[in-house]
Homo-oligomer: A and B are copies of this chain.
Amino acid sequence: MVNVHVYITLKEGVLDPQGHAVQNSLTALGYEEVEKVNVGKWLRLEVADGNNLDSRVENMCEQLLANPVIENYTYHVEREAKV
C-alpha cells in the first residue's frame, strides 16, 4: 500500500475567483500582508502497490482528477521502506 498525494492547481493565467475571494476576505480581516492566493486541490489516494504506478497515476490525473485544459497537477508517492 502506498499513499499518492496529488496536487492540482489552475494554470498560470487562468482566472481564480476562489483565490480572489479568499484574498479579499483575508484583507478584510486585517491580513494585509497576503498579496495573492491560489486555491487548489489536494488528493490523497491509498493505492495497492503494483506495476506501472507512475503511469497509472498520470492517467488517473489526465482522465478524471484534473482538467488538463486549465489545470496543472503534480504528485508524489509516499512509500514506506520494507525492513
Contact = CB atoms under 8 A, between A and B. Distances in A.
A46 B36 contact: yes
B43 A22 contact: yes
A26 interface: yes
B37 A43 contact: yes
B9 A33 contact: no
Number of copies: 2
A1 B35 CA distance: 9
A25 B56 contact: no
Given A44-B40, A48-B33, A22 B56 contact: no
A4 to B, nearest CB: 9
B40 A41 contact: yes
Interface string A15-34: 00001001001100101011
